[in-house]
Each structure stands twice: as structure tokens, then as C-alpha cells.
């Protein structure tokens, strides 16, 4: 047993410091180096597949790779930047209009298009809340957290909003992979101009079932008015006007 004792501590209590433990979960470290006063850690996702954000299909077919720099927590008094080597995947779902999508990371790790990791964003948020814009920016600089006064205020404002507004106003339209091919229905959030989901067909019963599972929806606009009679169009707005025909961005 004496061989297992190092410096008075049991070897069983010791754990090797893994490079991957320095970066957010879900990433694997490829390399690490210094660049000026910054530590750059090149990482990639540990998973081998991506999830299409439009239809939810899992894909392992990599189209290409690209680089993305995001700030992370400081290390040994240095600013840390993650060089994320991210992938673009092909979506093979026949009914999905998105042929290529960029890989997404876990919500609590790195948001799409974010310039800092979620754990750094959380600290920036708390600094901003505790000290306010300018004092927090000065303190953040001492802590090697690269954020400006404006960024601090933006983060506090963004995190003050409810995380996701319930669906209220949606539009449903016919949708096809190619013209004259099998049709599906696309559901859009008309307030946020975002795609919500794709329904497998354009049967009113399918849409009714989906609506029943989303009771917060108050207004449904059917962009193609052909089936409007067979489709339960419900509107609870005060104006009593018909829903506008609107299309949303893809
Ligand atoms: Zn897809």
C-alpha cells in the first residue's frame, strides 16, 4: 500500500488532469497554444453526428468544416479563446428543405452564433447584474474576461427576457421538397418569423392534432386558403379581423 501513497495522499484520490476537462463538456481538445497574451484551444465536438434544426433528422454525412472563435473562461491569468472546428452536415430527409446545416452544440454549452461560451456568458451576466455596466467592465478586464461595457449591458438585457415565448401566432402552409412531389405542411411562428416544425402531410387532422398539443396558440393563419373551410381557423384576437396571409423566412 505504501507505493500507492504519494505525498501523504492516496493515489486513489488523485485524478489525472485531462485536457478535455478544461473546456466545456461535449468538446475534445485538438491542440492548445499561446498567441500573444491569449491561450488558444482548438476543439471539436466529441459526437459524430449532427441534428438538423429544421426536421430533427440525425446526420453523420459531413459536408465541410469551418472555424469559429469563441471566448471562454480565463486560464492561469490569460484570456482563453476556443477555436471551434465545427462541421456542416447534409440533411438526407426527403421532405426537409435544408440540404446543409451547421452543427449545433448543447444549449448550456454554446449557443448558435454566440461569441462566448455559455459558462462565460453566465459570469458576464452576474457581473453586469452585480456591478452595472462601466464598473463591471473594469472588473471584468482585471479578471481577464474580454467584454466591453456595452456587451455587459446587452447580456443582462438578453437574459432578462423570458427564455422562450410561448407560441401564439402561427402560419401553416403547403410545402414540398420539389414541385409536384409529395406535399407536407410547414408551421411558422409568425411573430418571430421562424420555422417551428414540418408536419408529415397536409391533412387537416394532422394539423388539428398538432394544434391540440400546443394550447398557447391563439391565431392560426392558413397561407394556402384552399383548405380553409375544412381547417379549423381560430382567432382570439380582439380586432376580429381575419388572419393576415404571411410567409416566413427560411
Ligand atoms: Zn432536415
- Tell me whether residue 124 is in a domain: yes
20 and 109 housed in the same domain: yes
**113 CA to middle of ligand 1, Å?**
19
What is the number of domains present in the chain?
Answer: 3
Q: Are the CB atoms for 221 and 172 separated by under 8 Å?
A: yes
**46 CA to middle of ligand 1, Å?**
21
**6 CA to middle of ligand 1, Å?**
54
**90 CA to middle of ligand 1, Å?**
8
For range 223-245, the mean pLDDT:
42
DSSP for 156-201?
A: HHHHHS-SSPPP-EEEEEEEESSTTS-EEEEEEETTTTEEEEEESS
State pTM to two decimals: 0.60
Tell me the angle at which helices 133-142 and 118-131 cross, rounded to the nearest 10 degrees. Answer: 130
Other beta carbons less than 10 A from residue 101's beta carbon:
21
- Tell me whether residue 11 is in a domain: no
The pLDDT value given to residue 87: 96
Domain edge (last residue) among 161, 181, 197: 161
**57 CA to middle of ligand 1, Å?**
6
147 and 227 housed in the same domain: no
**4 CA to middle of ligand 1, Å?**
53
Range of the domain at 107: 16-115
What pairs with residue 38 in β-bridges? 35, 79
For range 88-94, the mean pLDDT:
91
pLDDT range class, residue 83, cuts 50, 70, 90: very high
The closest alpha carbon to 89, from 51, 55, 54, 56, belongs to 51
In the DSSP assignment, the letter for residue 97 is S
The pLDDT value given to residue 214: 85
Tell me the angle at which helices 133-142 and 149-160 cross, rounded to the nearest 10 degrees. Answer: 110
Amino acid at each position: 500500500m505504501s507505493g500507492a501513497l504519494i505525498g501523504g495522499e492516496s493515489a486513489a484520490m488523485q485524478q489525472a488532469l485531462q485536457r478535455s476537462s478544461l473546456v466545456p463538456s461535449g468538446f475534445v481538445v485538438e491542440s492548445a497554444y499561446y498567441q500573444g497574451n491569449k491561450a488558444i484551444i482548438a476543439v471539436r465536438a466529441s459526437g459524430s453526428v449532427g441534428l438538423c434544426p429544421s426536421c430533427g433528422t440525425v446526420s453523420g454525412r459531413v459536408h465541410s468544416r469551418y472555424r469559429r472563435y469563441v471566448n471562454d473562461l480565463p486560464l492561469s491569468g490569460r484570456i482563453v479563446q476556443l477555436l471551434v472546428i465545427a462541421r456542416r452536415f447534409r440533411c438526407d430527409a426527403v421532405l426537409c428543405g435544408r440540404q446543409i446545416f451547421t452543427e449545433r452544440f448543447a444549449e448550456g454549452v454554446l449557443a448558435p452564433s454566440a461569441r462566448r461560451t455559455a459558462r462565460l456568458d453566465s459570469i458576464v451576466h452576474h457581473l453586469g447584474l452585480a456591478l452595472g455596466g462601466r464598473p463591471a467592465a473594469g472588473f471584468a478586464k482585471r479578471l481577464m474576461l474580454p467584454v466591453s461595457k456595452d456587451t455587459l449591458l446587452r447580456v443582462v438585457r438578453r437574459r432578462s427576457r423570458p427564455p422562450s415565448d410561448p407560441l401564439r401566432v402561427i402560419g401553416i402552409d403547403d410545402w414540398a421538397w420539389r414541385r409536384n412531389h409529395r406535399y407536407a405542411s410547414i408551421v411558422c411562428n409568425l411573430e418571430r418569423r421562424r420555422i417551428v416544425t414540418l408536419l408529415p402531410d397536409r391533412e387537416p387532422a394532422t394539423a388539428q392534432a398538432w394544434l391540440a398539443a400546443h394550447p398557447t396558440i391563439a391565431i392560426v393563419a392558413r397561407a394556402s386558403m384552399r383548405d380553409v373551410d375544412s381547417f379549423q381557423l381560430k382567432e382570439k384576437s380582439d380586432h376580429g379581423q381575419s388572419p393576415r396571409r404571411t410567409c416566413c423566412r427560411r
